[in-house]
């Protein structure tokens, strides 16, 4: 039996690729090592815009819809309002399963151990002793991808560390964070912490590049204690985040990597669900067009260039959190560009241009508002931000 494509791994990347290939009538085999729906350590924050790539609804797997985000730096706090429903919270087991359930494809539970590419096909072997063949293989098997390793594509990787826990939420915590996820910066050198709401619990975690031994656990416990989130008895899940380096290969002639397997996690925000879905769709598009070699270029042009700029911004942001917080996070002129970025509608080039372009009016307004005192300053901000950026989201910064 020669399949048109074998998809290895059923996270959002693999499930998306399988969905679009199956919908086009391709004969697809999905191989997943865990019994679905499987747990995945993840904050589960995703923009609703991303889900518009699919012609089916996601309402039944959305845990929470948030209308603003809180950023903190030490004791300083900034709220960023979002367009209604722009950001959603999901539990990954149900979310990922939901996509793969829509895929018209054959599913087998199997752990892939190796892939071997031949001129006209790819052979896939599993730990269970089975062997399958397909014209193409999509490697969607996550951050430690066996497909990437055994297909000769495991090069130039940069892995950040992350820890996540699901904790039951008190009614008070659900009131506070229920529609308002929190990001805490400045608590570790190159990373951040989060508190994300789910239906009845909170997903809390920390991610960092090159953390010292034990630093992630210690910092997570310390900061969560400050927000009254008890971690005693909670299971801490550790995992890696494969950040984009711009140099990692993402495809051979017949093997295409998507999502974490391709190392596409956003360098500034650490989000990867959107990139997994996007690259899964691009891989399907490249195969369906009959020109799989287009895939690497598609990734470079549509995701890579923006991510390379994002890497520069991330280096600046995490090395100088105070200045970045004061001049970037608090700049209401830039919030729309950031929301667009999370929605896949604009890249880091646009965000950086927006940040730089709006810096002079932002600083002028902040200086005037600072001199005018608390009440008048608040009015100045509302009037200036509203007039200078009509239709833009803006906050009255305290």
Which residues in this chain contact ligand FAD in the complex, by CB under 6 A? 8-14, 31-34, 38, 40-46, 111-112, 140-142, 146, 162, 164, 205, 239, 241, 259-261, 265, 271-274, 276
Q: What does the alpha-carbon distance between residue 222 and residue 317 come to, in Å, rounded to a whole number?
A: 22
Give min distance, CB of 131 to ligand FAD, in A.
Answer: 14
Give min distance, CB of 187 to ligand FAD, in A.
Answer: 16
Output the CA–CA distances (angstroms, integers) from residue 326 to 188, 338, 394, in the order listed.
18, 16, 15
CB closer to ligand FAD, 92 vs 381: 92
Output the CA–CA distances (angstroms, integers) from residue 346 to 36, 302, 342, 350, in the order listed.
33, 10, 8, 6
CB closer to ligand FAD, 40 vs 330: 40
CB closer to ligand FAD, 227 vs 382: 227
Give min distance, CB of 64 to ligand FAD, in A.
Answer: 12
Give min distance, CB of 367 to ligand FAD, in A.
Answer: 36
DSSP SS3 for 299: helix
Residues 6 or more apart from 99 whose CB is under 8 A from it?
Answer: 12, 15, 16, 19, 54
CB closer to ligand FAD, 136 vs 385: 136
Q: What does the alpha-carbon distance between residue 125 and residue 29 come to, in Å, rounded to a whole number?
A: 13
Output the residue with the shortest Cβ distance to ligand FAD: 272
Give min distance, CB of 304 to ligand FAD, in A.
Answer: 16
CB closer to ligand FAD, 42 vs 256: 42
Give min distance, CB of 145 to ligand FAD, in A.
Answer: 7
Q: What does the alpha-carbon distance between residue 352 and residue 334 come to, in Å, rounded to a whole number?
A: 9
Note whether 255 and 243 are within 8 A (CB): no
DSSP SS3 for 252: coil
User: Widest CA span of the chain, in angstroms?
Assistant: 76
CB closer to ligand FAD, 9 vs 304: 9
CB closer to ligand FAD, 32 vs 340: 32
What are the φ and ψ backbone dihedral angles of 308, each rounded to 5 degrees?
-65, -40
Output the CA–CA distances (angstroms, integers) from residue 103 to 54, 56, 287, 289, 324, in the order listed.
11, 11, 16, 19, 43
CB closer to ligand FAD, 38 vs 300: 38
The closest alpha carbon to 274, from 373, 368, 340, 223, belongs to 340
Residues 6 or more apart from 320 whose CB is under 8 A from it?
Answer: none
Q: What does the alpha-carbon distance between residue 224 and residue 281 come to, in Å, rounded to a whole number?
A: 37
CB closer to ligand FAD, 313 vs 396: 313
Give min distance, CB of 209 to ligand FAD, in A.
Answer: 13
Give min distance, CB of 271 to ligand FAD, in A.
Answer: 3
> Would you tell me the crossing angle of helices 273-288 and 12-23 to the nearest 10 degrees?
30
Give min distance, CB of 66 to ligand FAD, in A.
Answer: 12
Residues 6 or more apart from 225 whose CB is under 8 A from it?
Answer: none
Peptide linkage before 183 cis (omega within 30 of 0): no
Give min distance, CB of 127 to ligand FAD, in A.
Answer: 8
CB closer to ligand FAD, 188 vs 365: 188
């Amino acid at each position: 039996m020669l399949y048109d494509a074998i998809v290895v791994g059923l996270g959002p990347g693999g499930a998306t690729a399988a969905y679009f290939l199956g919908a086009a009538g391709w004969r697809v085999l999905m191989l997943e090592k865990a019994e679905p729906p499987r747990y995945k350590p993840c904050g589960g924050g995703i923009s609703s815009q991303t889900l518009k790539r699919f012609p089916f609804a996601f309402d039944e797997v959305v845990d929470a819809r948030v209308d603003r985000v809180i950023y903190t730096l030490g004791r300083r706090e900034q709220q960023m309002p979002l367009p209604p429903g722009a950001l959603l919270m999901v539990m990954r087991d149900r979310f990922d399963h939901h996509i793969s359930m829509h895929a018209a494809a054959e599913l087998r539970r199997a752990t892939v151990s190796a892939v071997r590419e031949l001129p006209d096909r790819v052979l896939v072997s599993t730990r269970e002793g089975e062997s399958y063949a397909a014209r193409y293989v999509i490697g969607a098997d996550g951050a430690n991808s066996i497909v990437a390793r055994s297909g000769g594509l495991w090069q130039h990787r940069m892995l950040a560390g992350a820890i996540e826990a699901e904790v039951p939420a008190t009614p008070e915590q659900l009131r506070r964070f229920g529609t308002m996820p929190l990001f805490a910066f400045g608590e570790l050198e190159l990373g951040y912490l989060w508190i994300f709401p789910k239906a009845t619990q909170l997903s809390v975690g920390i991610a960092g590049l090159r953390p010292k031994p034990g630093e992630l656990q210690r910092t997570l416990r310390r900061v969560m204690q400050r927000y009254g989130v008890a971690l005693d008895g909670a299971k801490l899940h550790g995992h890696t985040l494969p950040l984009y380096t711009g140099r990692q290969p993402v495809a051979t002639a017949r093997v295409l990597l998507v999502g974490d397997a391709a190392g596409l996690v956003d360098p500034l925000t650490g989000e990867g669900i959107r990139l997994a879905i996007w690259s899964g769709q691009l891989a399907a598009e490249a195969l369906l067009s009959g020109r799989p070699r287009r895939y690497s270029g598609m990734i470079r042009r549509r995701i890579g260039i923006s991510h390379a700029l994002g890497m520069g911004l991330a280096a600046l942001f995490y090395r100088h959190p105070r200045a970045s917080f004061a001049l970037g996070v608090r700049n209401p002129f830039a919030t729309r560009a950031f929301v667009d970025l999370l929605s896949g509608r604009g890249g880091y080039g646009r965000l950086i241009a927006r940040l730089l372009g709006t810096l002079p009016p932002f600083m002028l307004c902040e200086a005037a508002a600072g001199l005018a005192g608390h009440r008048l300053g608040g009015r100045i901000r509302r009037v200036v931000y509203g007039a200078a950026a009509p239709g833009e989201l803006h906050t009255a910064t305290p």
